[in-house]
Amino acid sequence: MNVEERLALSRFTTLGTGGPARAFARPETLEELEQALHFARERELPAATIGLGSNLLVADDGFEGLALKLAGELAGAEVEGYRLIAGGGAANAVCLHRARAAGLGGFEFACAIPGTAGGGVWMNAGAYGGDWAGILERALVVDGDGSHWRTPEELGLGYRRSDLRHGEVVARVEFRLTPRPPGEIKAVVADMQAQRKAAQPTNKRTYGSVFKNPDHELTAGRMLEACRLKGHRIGGAQISPRHANFIENADGARSEDAIALMAEARRRAWEQYGVELEHEVVFLGEIELPPLSR
């Protein structure tokens, strides 16, 4: 397995920002993944997967660790009976295609989530009333000590979260689906995609939803819209004029621009509604939001 040094992670994030990783590898098998994590442990480097880079904000200074992009058999998907078996790096679009071809429903909601099967486990991804916890049977998690299968309960899946941490890599995912005519699946997916296209900036460079929806009558997007943040810009990044819970790379944005927008959004939501918004996007490297002034 080849390990590259100082590869720019901006090439792999959907926002197009972020500095270099100290080390970068593309393991294609379970054995290569275990070797990569052993490599990191020997050198006392943190390790993290980057998936499709769609829910990821990398520090402008980069990541002083091993960044992993799963490939080969770790990015494939196949159907066995009523089970969809996917590599942690398998794109949700690929998984959905396999399920639909086999006449298996339950994964349709994932058409709105431009990530991977493993990334979905990491954050218990969801949309349109469905989430990973509702269809996940088990996931194979690999760390420096080896690999272990975990159930949804053992993964600690909650609203847009799990108990997984960097250094724990989802190598395989098994979903339990139900029979459904491919035509029905296609129609449902088309409707969901039309809704998403109408409401979200799907043709812009973003990293997906910025904040989790709070325990409030307003969603994060509606709350930030009411705070008059649509179109608000700092540096090369702006809050989407279409949906206030998305940040766009308007022109040469840096991650620090996105962080500044997030900080401003949290400040306004706190001052206007007394709500402390929690970010959904995953941070990688030396990057954090400033605390709210109370």
Active site residue 280: yes
User: Which three-class secondary structure state does DSSP give residue 196?
Assistant: helix
Let me know: does 24 contact 66? Beta carbons within 8 Å. yes
Q: What residue has token string 């001052």?
A: 271
Catalytic residue among 150, 160, 180, 254: 160
Say whether 160 is catalytic: yes
Q: How far is the C-alpha of 173 from the C-alpha of 28, rounded, in Å?
A: 15
Task: Say which DSSP state 161 is in.
Answer: B
The torsion angles phi and psi of 230, rounded to 5 degrees, stand at -55, 130
162 in active site: no
Q: Which of 10, 209, 240, 255 is catalytic?
A: 209
Helix (H, G, I), strand (E, B) or coil at 227: coil
Q: Which of these, 50, 60, 15, lies nearest to 204 by C-alpha position? A: 15
Backbone φ, ψ for residue 199 (5° rounding): -105, -25
Q: How many CB atoms lie within 10 A of CB 190?
A: 12
Please give the positions annotated as active site: 160, 209, 280
